[in-house]
Amino acid sequence: MSARSPLELLAVGDLQLMTREPPADLFDQVTPALSAADVTFGNCEWPYAEEAGDTHPVEAHINDDFDKGDLFAPGAPESIRMMGRAGFDVMSIANNHTMHGGYRAFLRTISLLQESGIAPVGGGIDIAAARQPAIIERNGHRIGFLACTSGFLPGAHAGRRTPGIVPLRRHTYAENASWDNWGVEPDVRTLVNRDDLDAVIEGVKTLRSQVDIVVMSCHWGILEHPSAIAEYQREAARAFIDAGVDLIVSQGPLPIKGFEVYRGKAILYCMGKFAMISPWSRAETPSGISAPLLDETSRGLAASVTIAEGAITGVRVRPVFLGTSGRPKLLEPGDPHYDDILALVAERTQAANLNGRIDALGVIDLG
């Protein structure tokens, strides 16, 4: 291995470009930062292909329900090429949207990422391929990435002979709060699927011996309650870190979520959107982002991670503002919305009873 020197890993949230005509200037405001980072990671939350192909059978009814035949049509291949030119190195495809276009569009998404110089992780032609890590070597460090998702429709997870994503399923059940009383409200719990958890942990342990840093991407969480963190998320996050993960970056629900530090490792429970362009809302609002989602989809988080001597030495949360155009901008102190977004992170961290603490610059106290 070559001599080590410090490096920056920049991790961002969801990139969801649901259009056949991506704006050419979409990444203009963030390309300098993405390109300047030594390694850049994001979540590719949409399928991309030259044609729609085969809509996933479980999801075909959604198009009919929305009365928009192209609602889940794959985005333009040019969108992924733009991501490559902007500076992305690794992207997760483990999420609830990449299978919307069916197997062919899903596999084409993978090939487009590879053609654009981006390593896909969290999905593949079968479960063995889907579980393979992405490993990037920079400045004498080896950084490994894994990805899984708890949010997906039935049939979207990879099998022994079928393409798909890496699952981290969960089970919700109710139990009596009191066995000697009737009619009382039950305790409702959501726990992680042990088979899925064990399989992901096995991958972590294998990867741990090959790299200096292990980064886990999880697409999961609760949409309806902006601050809430599910029981299964905390259970899985701790298990991943116990197995050797150094950093957990997450996406899934639209709201930015809080964060915590466990054994000196940061767990970012949801970084929100990084770029979002939706095709149908242009007819409904001039913004290009449907109005009910506007507050949550107009902002996100990035994580600037410093790595030195084979270890993470610092994590800084950086506010991202998309506005009504869906075009991301990494904010700096003094910019409009900077303080508001950091305050929101702190507020939702406290509301979820998480132990995370940040300073005025967004630097996480790793304890």
Q: Tell me what the mean pLDDT of segment 131-159 comes to.
A: 96
Give the separation between CA 296 and CA 115, rounded to whole angstroms.
Answer: 32
Q: Tell me what the mean pLDDT of segment 148-170 comes to.
A: 94
Alpha helices (H) in 77-148, listed in sequence order: 77-86, 102-115, 127-130
| In-domain check, residue 62 | yes
pLDDT recorded at residue 41: 99
Burial 332-367 (b: 16+ CB within 10 A, else e): eeeeebbeebbebbbebbeebebebbbeeebebeee
| Of the candidates 98, 96, 189, 111, the residue with the CA atom closest to the CA atom of residue 149 | 96
Give the separation between CA 120 and CA 84, rounded to whole angstroms.
Answer: 12
Give the separation between CA 110 and CA 127, rounded to whole angstroms.
Answer: 14
Confidence of residue 61 (pLDDT cuts 50, 70, 90): very low
| In-domain check, residue 357 | no
- Of 52 and 261, the structure prediction assigns the larger pLDDT to 261
342: containing domain: 7-351
| In-domain check, residue 362 | no
pLDDT of residue 93 exceeding 60, the answer is: yes
Give the DSSP letter string of 46-85. Answer: S-B-SS-----GGGHHHHHHHT-TTTT--B-HHHHHHHHH
| In-domain check, residue 358 | no
What lies within 8 Å, CB to CB, of 270 at 6+ separation is 13, 221, 250, 251, 252, 253, 255, 256, 257
pLDDT recorded at residue 297: 84
CA dihedral 58, 60, 66, 71 (to 10 degrees): 110
pLDDT recorded at residue 63: 44
Per-residue tokens: 325: 């155009």
The residue type at 324: T
pLDDT of residue 289 exceeding 80, the answer is: no
Task: Give me the CATH number covering residue 333.
Answer: 3.60.21.10
pLDDT recorded at residue 300: 97
Per-residue tokens: 203: 């991958």
pLDDT recorded at residue 64: 44
Q: Tell me the pLDDT tens digit for each residue of 186-230.
A: 888 899 999 999 999 999 999 999 999 999 999 999 988 999 999
In total, how many domains does the chain have? 1
Q: Tell me the pLDDT tens digit for each residue of 310-327.
A: 999 999 999 999 987 889
Strand partners, 308: 311
| In-domain check, residue 364 | no
pLDDT recorded at residue 192: 97
pLDDT recorded at residue 228: 96
Per-residue tokens: 125: 């032609």
| In-domain check, residue 367 | no
pLDDT recorded at residue 335: 97
pLDDT of residue 262 exceeding 50, the answer is: yes
Q: Tell me what the mean pLDDT of segment 90-98 comes to.
A: 96
Confidence of residue 178 (pLDDT cuts 50, 70, 90): confident
Q: How many CA atoms lie within 13 A of 236 on its CB side?
A: 38
- Of 20 and 196, the structure prediction assigns the larger pLDDT to 196
| In-domain check, residue 285 | yes
Distances (CA, A) of 314 to 28, 86, 137, 366: 27, 24, 19, 8
pLDDT recorded at residue 340: 97
| In-domain check, residue 363 | no
